[in-house]
Amino acid sequence: MNSLNKVLWGLILIVIGIVIGLNSFGITDINLFFEGWWTLFIIIPCTIDLFSDKTGKVGNLIGIIIGVALLLITRDIIDLALIAKLIIPIIFVLIGLSLIFNSTIKKNIADKVREGSISGLEPIVATFSKQEAIKEDENFKGAALEAVFGTVVFDLRKANIEKEAVIKANAIFGSIEILIPKNTEVKIKSTPIFGSVSNNTAKTKGEKKTIYVEAFAMFGGVDIK
């Protein structure tokens, strides 16, 4: 959780505390448990996650749409049949826009990964299993990580990176954790579909190396830290 997320959650808890206090003294009469209040457990976390470093924004937007739709249905503002007709097309449109945006805006990262793939990437695959790989002191140039109903932990903290390296990471109903060495910048092109890709690496200063990551997450996650 980044600092902005903590501030937002803090403000929400403060507001709830103030409302409960004012209600207790009879100053206000705000009903926190209104009809459909439970939908806020979907809407609020998805909204706050939009301000995080995770790149699975489409999943958050879909969560917000579903949460708001359920709230409107429980309040009898919108008919369930209308929501049923609209929600599937909206989800497909959001996913399509995400794919187009990532393909055009972050083309440079994809090109870097493609160039690295030509010279060959070391495959590390976990299928219904867990794979841990540690790179120490060797000249690391690139790897292809695959987690299908499994987990990959890829530790580069002691690896030697001359200037640039590339990583392809695909997580399908699985998880991939990539540990990055200090003084290294990470540039990501991600395609999360009901999954997430997060970059929790520290900001670098001065001379630095770069790792280009092309990540795909479907019902899974890629965590870079």
CA angle (221 as vertex; 220, 225 as ends), nearest 5: 165
The residue-averaged pLDDT of 107-126 equals 68
Domain range list for the chain: 33-105, 107-224
Residue 171 has phi, psi (to 5 degrees) of -120, 115
pLDDT at 110 (0 to 100): 59
pTM above 0.75, yes or no: no
pLDDT at 105 (0 to 100): 46
Distances (CA, A) of 209 to 68, 113, 133, 183, 205: 43, 15, 21, 7, 11
C-alpha 51/C-alpha 173 separation (Å) is 25
pLDDT at 118 over 50: no
Instruction: Kindly report, residue by residue over 41-66, the tens digit of the pLDDT.
Output: 888 888 887 776 555 566 777 788 88
